[in-house]
Amino acid sequence: MGLTITEKILRDHSNEKNASAGDFILANIDKCLANDITAPIAINVFKEIIEGTDRDVFDKKKIILTPDHFAPNKDVASAEQCKVLREFAHEYNIENYFEQGRVGIEHCLIPEKGLALPGEVFIGADSHTCTYGALGAFSTGVGSTDLGVAMALGKCWFKIPQSIKFIYSGRMKEHVSGKDLILHTIGQIGVDGATYKAMEFTGEIIDHLSMASRFTMCNMAIEAGGKNGIIPPDRITEAYLNEKHKVNYKKYISDKDADYFDIIEFECSDLEPQVSLPHLPENAKPISEVDAMRIEIDQSVIGSCTNGRLEDLRVVAKILKGKKIAPKVRCILIPGTPEIYLDALKEGLIEIFLNAGAIVSTPTCGPCLGGFMGILAAGERAISTTNRNFVGRMGHVKSEVYLSGPAIAAASAIKGYITSPDYI
Amino acid sequence: MKGKVIKYDQNNINTDLIIPARYLVNSEPKFLAEHCMEDLDPEFNQKIREMHLSIMVGGSNFGSGSSREQAPLAIKTAGIKCVLAPSFARIFFRNAINIGLPILEFADLKEVNTGDELEINFEEGKILNLTLNKEFIIKQMPAFLHKIISSEGLIKYARKQVLNN
Ligand code: SF4
């Protein structure tokens, strides 16, 4: 019996040369990541482990620290958290500590910096670490205890997951992106539809899908309960990596006779842009239905580790160009990293946003987790390109978040209710 | 190990039932243990103490819900030495192992009842119901997970590794 890409990567990172799905392994990790919320606890765990010894971190190059959630420091408490990261990074000469101003939203920043590569085992104390599966890595979220141990030993234990293969066929309509594919998928299988499983995305649509859309899809694997999302590396992955970094990596692909827990096919030629209604990502509906509901919005948030990339901003700029944000709507645009921000500036996108009456924020998680920079009041409604629409996620427990891709969020910002650029 | 069973014949015993969110303001393990399972069985702690029960048996998808590490911690501190269920939620499983609470997949729920005495052999993957005199083969606990458990958790396990080389 053949193996899936996920099985192969994990097996090759352990001493169990015959391991496959269902087996437990202790894996050598290639990179580990924590942010201003999770690193302080992990750092305590690390210090408890090495106390009284002259032990160092397992590898100064392989630990990544990103103060991105409540940064630039939103208050005294967050300033203290960020300070813990900074001091630890300097004490241990952590190479990949990103100071504010150079940091971006972690899951946008890390691929951009070439810090996640095909074939790697990547763990992060953040549930959306599954994003880097888009590059053909095994990448997953863990707890702070796991991360503290990883910083000391460079190892993490796993049960090798079974995989579900998703096959996307047909031709996507205009304004349909990776976000719509994944919202539709979660809508079909539910928020626990892939619990514990690897979600392997394949098919002719994936073969032609941009890296930005691939990141978006893998990013939301966790919203279906998945352990990891993964797309076997191909020429699109290679082109992306070659453009940015000349690096070596190992490419894995699934065997033809690999054993899958399930195989699910979606024919996407008729797929419309999707909107997930409150309060679960699985409440996905086609835009034609949602448009008919005339759902008025107070805010449109475009950014986050799901949709804060240059491609997303370009889509938005095309729709906002020469238009005005609806009088009672706040439209907040958050480029994912300083580099994306700068590229958007050079391309004239930022000017388009500001002329339309939008707010352009420095890269941060901000409103995505109800942190700051765009909190909702009671009764307010937002359309958002983020990944979670749980109760109170963006502010007051009586506020509402609707999830969509950038095209819908931009069109809705102009109209004041949830709609599609196709209807403007 | 040997111990007597406390059984809840119910699927999806989630982390809110194990330790309700209203108690998360205090992370003291003893405090958490006092409120363990209280919404499902207010006499959980009393039964454990009076009947000397130490092996918890539950239905499938045990520990679903939030990622709170307090859930396995409350169970462990209450005096439970092992949890058996047909299946566990992913993060609960991780957290239980990481804090040194052995948990094992065991499907024959009908074959154990509250008060039964079990003998569990982790290395060989065997469970013996001494009360019914029946033996069950389960999946062996992988050697290093067993090492984590016998070190009383991942932090102590890692500390040992560090001190040994
Ligand atoms: S943008 Fe949102 S989902 Fe992504 S890492 Fe930040 S808080 Fe988490």
Lay out the sheet containing B134-137: strands in order across.
B103-105, B82-85, B53-57, B2-7, B117-121, B126-129, B134-137
A244-254 pLDDT tens trace: 877 889 999 99
B130-162 pLDDT tens trace: 999 999 999 888 887 888 988 999 999 999 999
Distance (Å, rounded) from C-alpha A399 to C-alpha A175?
A: 27
Mean per-residue pLDDT, A347-356: 98
CA distance A407 to chain B (A): 32
Distance (Å, rounded) from C-alpha A82 to C-alpha A69?
A: 10
Do residue B155 and residue A145 have CB atoms under 8 angstroms apart?
yes
What CATH fold (topology level) applies to the domain B2-164?
Answer: Aconitase; domain 4 (3.20.19)
- Given a cut of 80, whether residue A25 has pLDDT beyond it is yes
| Helices and strands (DSSP H and E) totals, chain A | 15, 18
**Percent share of chain A, pLDDT over 90:** 92
Residue A247 pLDDT: 82
Six-digit token string for A102: 């150079």
Confirm or reject: Cβ of A220 under 6 Å from ligand 1: no
Distance (Å, rounded) from C-alpha A386 to C-alpha A396?
A: 17
Residue A252 pLDDT: 98
CA angle A292/A298/A301 to nearest 5° reads: 95
Q: Count how many residues are written for chain B.
A: 165
Answer left, alpha or beta for residue A259, where phi above 0 means left and psi between -120 and 50 means alpha.
beta
Angstrom CA distances, A207 to A109, A198, A237, B84, B96, stand at: 24, 19, 10, 44, 40
CA distance A261 to chain B (A): 16
Residue B67 pLDDT: 65
Distance A145 CA to ligand 1 centre (A): 20
B18-39 pLDDT tens trace: 998 778 767 789 999 999 999 9
**Percent share of chain B, pLDDT over 90:** 66
The domain locations on chain B are 2-164
pTM for the whole structure: 0.89
Distance (Å, rounded) from C-alpha A61 to C-alpha A32?
A: 10
Q: Say if CB A275 and CB A418 are below 8 A apart.
A: yes
Query: Ligand 1: which of A66, A128, A312 to mutate, judged by most atoms within 8 Å of the beta carbon?
Result: A128
Instruction: Kindly list the residues from chain B whose CB atom is less than 8 angstroms away from the CB atom of residue A152.
Output: 158, 162
**Percent share of chain B, pLDDT over 70:** 97
Mean per-residue pLDDT, A122-138: 96
ipTM of predicted complex:
0.84
Confidence band, pLDDT 50/70/90 cuts, at residue B94: confident
* Domains within chain A, CATH numbers bracketed: 5-265 (3.30.499.10), 276-423 (3.30.499.10)
Distance (Å, rounded) from C-alpha A82 to C-alpha A73?
A: 7
Q: What are phi and psi of B91, to 5 degrees?
A: -75, -35
Mean per-residue pLDDT, A257-274: 98
Residue A409 pLDDT: 98
Distance (Å, rounded) from C-alpha B112 to C-alpha A377?
A: 52
